Structure 1
Amino acid sequence: MRALKIILGRKGFDSGYGGHPSPIMPNGDMISMPIPSSTDNINYCNLKYEGKAYSEIMKELYKGYIKTGNAKVEISDELSCHLDLDINRDVYERKDGWKAMFGQISGSQAHLEN
Structure 2
Amino acid sequence: MIGVVGTAHVKIFDDNELNKLHIDQENLKVNILKSDEKSGNYVIKFFITIPYNSDYKCLNDYKSFVHPTLKQHIRVFIISTQIIEIVELGIQPIKHISQL
- TM-score range with shorter-chain normalisation? under 0.3
Greater percentage in helix:
2
TM-score (normalizing by structure 2): 0.28
Greater percentage in strand:
2
